[in-house]
A and B are shown apart, each in its own frame.
Chain A
């Protein structure tokens, strides 16, 4: 049996159209049923975040000292926190922060890292050496420690969190983009492009990028999971988006102070982080298996 592949690498360097790509994607998903589970969970959580104002039963920052630390009930499905705020509504709104920071930081990391990787692979020589040595050094730091350091220096805000997390994934994207670029660089059609006098920028963007994008996007889904976990971790440490904006990590941190009396305060947002990260891991794992020739049966 031949497993389906995400065919994003036509020899011409140009895409083969959306229908073909979607058909390939469908076969990839069918080859690994767990990817479907991941996709359904992820889309469900995204919809919950988008429609949070409609789904939320209470205002997420509305405090009520009379209703503080109430266990889950009919009026407050997941209980209330130490300020009497509804945990369910805060989790829904918190999903927005996690998703925005997770997706935006990966998008930023992908653009910067992808560009650096393609440049390094395409130009080779000292440009390659210089870029990749810097990337290797950045990779040697533990991601969380690096994120912690950058966000502590820049100050905790949503934009700075995005920058800090993007900073930690840039070297990973650069590495992933560089390898296929080196393989593609030697192809005849690239040689033909050069002979036609196309600029390096045009060759890299129009003719190399489509060939390396598939692999980068698959890993981007896995690293979005990591990015969301890092955002939650930074918020848990106290370096997240400032209160009263609900963030999952921040909710877990606040809830942890009441672990003896109100364990639900840290358990439910913790489960939310787990579910989102797990859905992305399921999704990315299935996609990666599908494009990895070594794992094909």
Chain B
């Protein structure tokens, strides 16, 4: 397992480097002068030049690229052009909110999605299967902001069970959980739709395997066949899907955070975009990219734990 982990870790380095290069290029190459964007069209050329000089935007592209990589290697993601606070400070302030939301949504997705998918696969082409398929397809058609709005309408405005604005006191665990319920549900239900579909198709494949038929022929109780023989092997594709859709979840969390007016990484990105805070934007993209590379790495490592064959390859 140690060699497998080391191999995966080393393989993540070039990916990360490539992702960083793309971020650098997107921010630099696309049209629009950040200096003018920040200072406004009325700023004099002298002020613009001084500003560009201060940000190092007058240097050749490769010099800027070298500086960009060197700073990241030292853990320096830069500072906001607007607030002056470092990217780490800004991210640190909202990260607990994003982690809470992402983790809770995945948990909801797993807890609801896997049993539903297994149930649908076991009752293939029965009414449970049809209803599950239709509802999960409907679930993944929901735009994240619309789910959030419907939840607010029902549970905050009509029933008054939860707050409309989700601003938790992070030091108080009860308040933290109370403010998390609706946002997590809005993303978790979408995640459930994806996990259900993945669990169903993965289980269908495994249930058709010879060893499952053998277990049944030997008289192993159906529950044991499904949960111990089939599900264990069906889990790898499910884990892949959860890993893959984590990106989707992070993207959608932008919308959820806006609707619930909840602090988080997504809201920070939208604010930096609106303020044309390129330095902040670049830093945030690096944080996102690292996050995704780490998630992919963890997904790979989970394979190794679930399937002993993977780590011996």
A residues engaging B (CB < 8 A)? 34, 133-134, 136-138, 140-145, 148-150, 152-155, 225, 229, 232-233, 236-239, 249, 252, 256, 259-260, 263, 266-267, 270, 273-274, 277-278, 281-282, 285, 294-295
In the complex the two chains form, is A236's CB within 8 Å of B145's CB? yes
Residue in B22, B138, B141, B149 with the greatest tally of chain A CB atoms within 10 Å? B141
In the complex the two chains form, is A281's CB within 8 Å of B141's CB? yes
Q: Decide if B58 is an interface residue (CB 8 Å cutoff).
A: no
**Complex: A139 Cα to B58 Cα, angstroms:** 31
Chain A: minimal CB distance from B277 (Å):
11
Q: Which residue of B is nearest A280, CB measured? A: B141
In the complex the two chains form, is B143's CB within 8 Å of A273's CB? yes
In the complex the two chains form, is A259's CB within 8 Å of B18's CB? no
Q: Decide if B38 is an interface residue (CB 8 Å cutoff).
A: no
Which 7 pairs across A and B sit closest by C-beta, in order of nearness?
A144-B251, A142-B251, A153-B30, A278-B141, A270-B146, A277-B141, A142-B247
**Complex: A150 Cα to B26 Cα, angstroms:** 8
A153 partner residues in chain B, CB cutoff 8 A = 26-27, 30-32
In the complex the two chains form, is B141's CB within 8 Å of A274's CB? yes
In the complex the two chains form, is B247's CB within 8 Å of A141's CB? yes
**Complex A-B: 21 CB contacts under 8 Å:** A133-B18, A137-B18, A140-B292, A141-B247, A141-B288, A142-B247, A142-B250, A144-B255, A229-B141, A233-B145, A237-B258, A238-B274, A256-B149, A259-B153, A263-B153, A267-B149, A273-B143, A278-B138, A281-B141, A285-B137, A294-B205
Chain A: minimal CB distance from B148 (Å):
9
In the complex the two chains form, is A266's CB within 8 Å of B149's CB? yes
Interface residues of B in 273-290 (CB under 8 A from A): 273-274, 281, 285, 288-289
In the complex the two chains form, is A270's CB within 8 Å of B292's CB? no
In the complex the two chains form, is A152's CB within 8 Å of B273's CB? yes
Interface residues of B in 142-191 (CB under 8 A from A): 142-146, 149-150, 152-153, 157
**Complex: A153 Cα to B146 Cα, angstroms:** 26
A267 partner residues in chain B, CB cutoff 8 A = 149-150, 153
**Complex: A278 Cα to B45 Cα, angstroms:** 51
**Complex: A263 Cα to B150 Cα, angstroms:** 10
Residue in B251, B269, B292, B296 with the greatest tally of chain A CB atoms within 10 Å? B251
Chain A: minimal CB distance from B79 (Å):
20
In the complex the two chains form, is B152's CB within 8 Å of A259's CB? yes
**Complex: A142 Cα to B249 Cα, angstroms:** 8
Given contacts A137-B22, A153-B31, contact A34 B252 (CB under 8 A): no
**Complex: A229 Cα to B190 Cα, angstroms:** 13
B residues engaging A (CB < 8 A)? 15, 18-19, 21-22, 26-27, 30-32, 134, 137-138, 140-146, 149-150, 152-153, 157, 201, 204-205, 247-248, 250-252, 254-255, 258-259, 266, 269-270, 273-274, 281, 285, 288-289, 292-293, 296
Chain B: minimal CB distance from A153 (Å):
4
A142 partner residues in chain B, CB cutoff 8 A = 247-248, 250-251, 288, 292
Given contacts A266-B149, A270-B149, A274-B142, contact A140 B251 (CB under 8 A): no
State which of A143, A252, A266, A282 has its C-beta within 8 Å of the C-beta of B247: A143
Chain A: minimal CB distance from B10 (Å):
16
B204 partner residues in chain A, CB cutoff 8 A = 295
**Complex: A281 Cα to B248 Cα, angstroms:** 17
**Complex: A277 Cα to B201 Cα, angstroms:** 22
A285 partner residues in chain B, CB cutoff 8 A = 137
In the complex the two chains form, is B144's CB within 8 Å of A233's CB? yes
B296 partner residues in chain A, CB cutoff 8 A = 140
Q: Which residue of B is nearest A142, CB measured? A: B251
Chain B: minimal CB distance from A279 (Å):
9
A134 partner residues in chain B, CB cutoff 8 A = 18, 22
**Complex: A249 Cα to B254 Cα, angstroms:** 14
Chain A: minimal CB distance from B6 (Å):
21
A144-B252, A154-B30, A238-B274 provided; 9 other pairs, C-beta below 8 A?
A: A136-B18, A140-B293, A141-B289, A145-B285, A225-B141, A229-B143, A236-B255, A274-B141, A278-B138
